[in-house]
Chain A
Amino acid sequence: NAGVTQTPKFQVLKTGQSMTLQCAQDMNHEYMSWYRQDPGMGLRLIHYSVGAGITDQGEVPNGYNVSRSTTEDFPLRLLSAAPSQTSVYFCASRSTGGYYGYTFGSGTRLTVV
């Protein structure tokens, strides 16, 4: 089925470890973004991309890196995980003409111990 695919669904990391959360979409969407969801705070924008090779920071970018080498993929990297990064991470995408019509993935639940 067409959509946004996130892997893994669950992950436990030790403080200081690194990992990459994967996000792939097969809808040829130009715009992609990463959000984190924390209790009582809704979803907050981490990084976004308006096309291959173009990325920028959102509201809470510290501790995260992104790159966009292809239209389909938008991985999120944690270089040195911290307990404050324990959260549920959502990837979303939309077409250029889709304005605010985002499609969300099913999320990655990350725990940093």
Chain B
Amino acid sequence: AQSVTQPDIHITVSEGASLELRCNYSYGATPYLFWYVQSPGQGLQLLLKYFSGDTLVQGIKGFEAEFKRSQSSFNLRKPSVHWSDAAEYFCAVGARSGGYNKLIFGAGTRLAVHP
């Protein structure tokens, strides 16, 4: 069965430090992978997505993610974190079920940023 694991529930970093959020997936075919961000009281915003091609994907707000098939991973990175990046981050894999393209989400990683 398809699944997504985000091993870190909470991460705290200092402003200006680099960031890496981990994501591992289980999927039988070539996966469609996504990272979403949820700011407090807001809906989910798509940061970036991977469908095929270059395994290093650039997204909005200075984020990037790298698809590693051998490790079944799609980790999210940012070289320098800003206080406004404090939010919850969700990794998701696209899965087709009964003719419908649905998203399977990980449990999320809550990011806190210290000044």
Contact = CB atoms under 8 A, between A and B. Distances in A.
Interface of A: 4, 31, 33, 35, 40-45, 48, 50, 56, 58, 90, 92, 99-102, 104-107
Contact of B102 (A40, A45, A101, A105): A45
B31 to A, nearest CB: 11
A104 B94 CA distance: 15
Given A40-B9, A106-B41, A101 B46 contact: yes
A92 to B, nearest CB: 8
Contacts of B98: 56
B46 A90 contact: no
B100 A40 contact: no
A42 B105 contact: yes
B107 A99 contact: no
Q: How large is the interface on B (under 10, 10 to 19, 20 to 34, 35 or more residues)?
A: 20 to 34
A13 B54 CA distance: 48
Contacts, number: 57
Contact of B42 (A50, A102, A106): A106
Given A42-B92, A100-B32, 12 more contacts: A33-B102, A42-B90, A42-B106, A42-B108, A44-B105, A48-B100, A48-B102, A100-B101, A102-B46, A102-B103, A104-B43, A106-B43
A31 B46 CA distance: 17
B44 A90 contact: yes
Interface of B: 4, 9, 32, 34, 36, 41-46, 49, 90, 92, 94, 98-103, 105-108
21 contacts: A31-B101, A35-B105, A40-B107, A41-B107, A42-B105, A42-B106, A42-B107, A43-B90, A43-B103, A45-B102, A48-B100, A50-B99, A90-B44, A100-B101, A100-B103, A102-B46, A104-B36, A104-B44, A104-B45, A106-B41, A106-B42
Given A42-B90, A90-B44, A107-B43, A100 B100 contact: no
A50 B43 contact: no
Nearest to B34: A100
